[in-house]
Structure formats: C-alpha cells, structure tokens
Chains A and B, each alone.
Chain A
C-alpha cells in the first residue's frame, strides 16, 4: 500500500484509486494489465489518462466502475468513491452508486439500442433509478438541451438517424440526465472528425464548468488531453510513469516516455520539413514485462540501474511526479526539434 502522504494523492478526493492491479487470465497465461496504480480525482477536476494501446488506461477506467469481466479478470487494491469502497459494495448499493459514477464510451452507437428512440435512450438510466415519469420527461429535455440538441427535434429519432457527433452528444446527455459527480470518458472523441470533435470537446468543457463535474478523460491523443485536463497521468504497461498538473507534464515532461509521446504528436505547423528518424519502436510483450523500469527497452536514457531497480514515482523539480531514475530536466520537445 502506498503511503497516503504521497503529495500527488489527496485526502479530500471524490475518487481515490489505491494500488489498483488488474490481472487477466487466458488459459494458463496471465497478463497484468494494470500494475499498482494510485491516483485521485477531486470534485470538479479533470484527470487525463494517456498512453499507447495496451497501457491499461481503459482497464483502469472500467475497474473504477466495476465493469471488468468477472470470468477472466481479478483486481486488487481499493477504489473509494465519496468515502465508500466500490469493490465491497453489494449489487444493490453499487447500482445506486453508479448513478453518481458514469461512463461514456468511444463508440456511442454500439452503446445504444438501435430500436429505441433518443428520448428513451436518454431516459434509460433514470428509469433504472426509479425516477418518476414526469420528472424523467423534464430531465431528458434539459439533458438534451445541455448538449445542444433539442428534444423536439431529435427526441423521436432512432440511433441510425444520428450523425457521429450527434450520437456522442446523446451519449453525453444520457449520462448527464443522471446528474453524476464523476464521468469516466473513454476515448469520447476518437471516432469523430476534426470539426465535430472540436464541438464535443468544447461541450465537455462547458459541462464540466457549469456542473462542477469531475472527469476521467482517457485518450491516446495528447493534444486532446492537454486541452481538457487539469491533471494528467501518463501510463505505460500498466503503471503510471508520470502524473501531475497538465501544464507541468506537457511543458516540462520529466519521464522519457512522456517525452517520446509528445515528440510523436503531429502538429499542424509546417515551416520546417521534418527529418525522419530511422529507429523504430519495439514494444515488449505485456505478458512478460521487462525487469526494473518497464520502459527501459525503449528508453534512450536507460542504464544498468534501470534494469535492476524499478524507479518509484517521486517528485520532480517542476512539480509533477515521475517514475524515472534519469528524468529530463529541460523544457518539452518541440515538434520541430524532434526526429
């Protein structure tokens, strides 16, 4: 168990994740998708979770809502939401808690029943939670209003009649109707076109301000995460390798992995032609992670120590925490100096 006095963890948090580990089993093989992750989310705060595919960001998000498949996964650690232990909750209590703890998925269309109308879809959670019918109608209206849709216009439509942006708005409205305290957003804009993506990002921004909502924003897109997050946790192979205020992490990244991610983000700036780099990326198998620091096989700064001793998260001079023996101290790479 991590000591609670770690300054990146907070006592007054809405959600506390402590030492979360998730193991998936497949036949005789086991795969540790999340390996001892701890972080907090305060009321009204947006925490971005970034990393490549397989880094464990989605698994972390699902574990928080207890949405992992029971058959082949097991988790350890504690998740506390509003002072209650989420894992210890009996089914009935969990259902009640989920009203305050909601999730938005990458592909909204597959989270809708294609035969129901938009109004029914938005009302679904309210029905489950036994809200009475007249109130349901007003809350569906106001939730659709909050996401810039009108119940009169789209309420009677079915999912196939919605555009990509509209269906993500409906998914957000469905969640908002429950008036949650925390929403886990798993790649909510990844499938949207740039022009529509901007609308949804601004919308999430606005909602979070007006409703004092806490968000966990899971994304592989660092540009999007920077736009929306107060704090950012960078994950690599199931571990948080860097966590801190978004400004610090993006402007003074300490961990070489954060550095590598930032270098790789395409930036719409073309005054200089990029020089291609010839070194490729080889990602180790998650079933058999490297000893010591898990990033060392891809790390340009790795030395012997990195293979022997796993670095703990420790404070960096610029305010964030990073798990690295040889962290960067210089300012963030610019896209033009990369490659």
Chain B
C-alpha cells in the first residue's frame, strides 16, 4: 500500500477554482510540492496568495464551492482518489494541524484535556484512562504548567500563548507524521512567538515529523526550515533550500518581498523598497506570470505567457521567471 521510498507528501499539479456570484476565482494554479520525511517546509505568501487554500485542498477542507483538481499523495498513497470518509480518517490520523486563532479551534465549554485527547480517542481507539494519560503527557511536553490540574481547565483560563500550546498538544495526540502550523504564531507577541516556534522545532526534531510552517513573515521560516516555497497569485513562484532562498532569491517576487521587510538589524530611517500596486485579483484571468503587473523588470512576454519552471539542482531550487535575479554563489564555508 504505502511506498517507503515515496516522499511523505507529494502534491502534483493542484488547482482550485471557486465559483462565486461574480465569476470563477482561480485561487490555486498548478501547484506542485514535495516534502520528504522529517523535513520542514516554510510556505510563505501574502494574504490571498493561496497558501491557506493549498493547505485546505491537501486536507480536503476546501469549501464546498471549490473544485480541486490534481493529485495529492501521502507516502505513496493517493489521497485524491479516496472516498471523503476514508480520506478524513487517513488524514486525521496522520496529519496534525495548528491554526492561527486558538480561540476558534478550541471549544470554550469543554475541558482542554478532553479536547487534546479527542482525536486520540477517535482515531487510536484509546480508552478514557489511556487517553487521559496521553493528554497529560502532551500537556507537560508542550510546557503547560501543572498538567494534571490544567487538564480540567477551560480555554479562557489560559493566555494566548498557552492556548496555542493546547492546540499544539491536540495536534500531536495521534502522533502525526506531518504537522501543519498555519499562521500559528501570527497573533502572538514576539517573545511568545519565539517560544512557540522553538517548541514546534524541538518537537519536530524529537519526533522526526515533517512540518509545514505557513506564514506571511519570511523572518519566521528563516533558520527554522529546510526548504521554503514562496506563493504568489495562487502559484508557487519559487522554492529552494532555505539558506539558498535567502542568500540568493531568484524570482523577482521573492526578491521584492525580502527587500520590503523592515528589519530590526537595519539602521533607522532606511527607505524600504516597496512593491507598487496590489496583488492580483483571483477573478481576473491571468495569462502570464502573476507578478508581472507589479514587477520592476517585467517584459512583454511576462504578461503574455507563464514562464517555464527552471530547476537548479544545487539549491534544490525551482522557479518560474523569464528575467530572474543573477544567482549569488554560496560562500565557500557554507555546507549543504
């Protein structure tokens, strides 16, 4: 059934169209993505870039109005061919998800411990007592104080950071092979954000899980992921090893996004390089590169046809740009 040599997650040519009263929104266009066992991927994009829809399409959580085409394989098992109930069982057992707002993913009137063990009881058929032990262990692992006591606390008794720890514990209950954190730290203070990111990174290493960090902040994936995929206008415009992507962005959008970020290690009053204009409207048909209308170096062909994907094996890089930035070679000290 499952193929041990296959990548953990293999997304091929995934597209998603949503019918709206004003036309068809093309929110994902021909997205392909691979994630190996034990690796972490940063999925970066601004609002509307399609990153959350990509996750939802992989998990089969896309809204009913969405038409998803393409293939999603998990350890060589094709998810897209499964019946809905079967797929839910499979995904619920193997994939853990942490969302941005713990207050909307937690039930306010159920003890947090019960919520943490819920998926373990359902998928692993654990008894009440076994599940309770699993929940208490997990609560200790994610750094919740006095797990035996806080087992029967309600979500409102925790701070934002602590609530996010509860949802992380719940996501880990079935010992998933893949953990997806979708903007899991966006609503938190920087110091708490660092704690949560550190926690996710430690758990990922300790359990040798694969992880996808979905974020709009390039800073979050730097230094914490193995690979990064940058999304724009429903497409993955560039993907590469994390250090290579930050050292030498090839796609013009990646480059522009990096330059637009204010950085705490830069001097005051430096003018930021801005990206003129607005992200593309998914309702408008796009023949060429989605970034072409805002790109400072776009040529006529950029708007007319989608550039072919260029692969660079050394950086495990793929990007689609007619006029890419010149490749900056790694410093000799850098080892892959």
Contact = CB atoms under 8 A, between A and B. Distances in A.
Whether chains A and B associate is yes
What's the dominant secondary structure at chain A's contact region? loop
A222 B267 CA distance: 12
Contacts of A246: 268
A335 to B, nearest CB: 7
A223 B268 contact: no
Contacts of B198: 276-278, 339
Contacts of A264: 190-191, 193-194
A67 to B, nearest CB: 23
B286 interface: no
A52 B216 contact: no
Interface in A257-289: 260-274, 276-278, 280-283
A264 B224 CA distance: 13
A25 interface: no
A222 B161 CA distance: 19
Contacts of A226: 262-264, 266, 268
Nearest to A193: B46
B197 interface: yes
B147 to A, nearest CB: 14
Contacts of A202: 271-272, 274
B260 A198 contact: yes
Contacts of B273: 198
B190 A268 contact: no
A222 B202 contact: no
Nearest to B273: A198
Interface size class of B (residues with CB under 8 A): 35 or more
Given A265-B190, A265-B219, A265-B264, A195 B224 contact: no
Contacts of B143: 280
B52 interface: no
B200 to A, nearest CB: 8
B201 interface: yes
A198 B274 contact: yes
Interface in B249-290: 256-258, 260-276, 278-279
Nearest to A200: B274
Contacts of A227: 262, 266, 268-270, 272
Interface in B180-230: 189-195, 197-199, 201-202, 216-224
Interface of A: 52-53, 163, 165, 193-199, 201-202, 205, 220-224, 226-230, 246-247, 250, 260-274, 276-278, 280-283, 334-336, 339
Nearest 5 CB-CB pairings of A with B: A266-B219, A276-B198, A274-B223, A195-B275, A198-B260
Interface of B: 46-47, 143, 145, 159-161, 189-195, 197-199, 201-202, 216-224, 242-243, 245-247, 256-258, 260-276, 278-279, 334
17 contacts: A195-B274, A195-B279, A198-B262, A202-B271, A205-B271, A223-B262, A226-B266, A228-B269, A247-B268, A261-B191, A269-B265, A270-B222, A271-B247, A271-B334, A274-B224, A283-B159, A336-B223
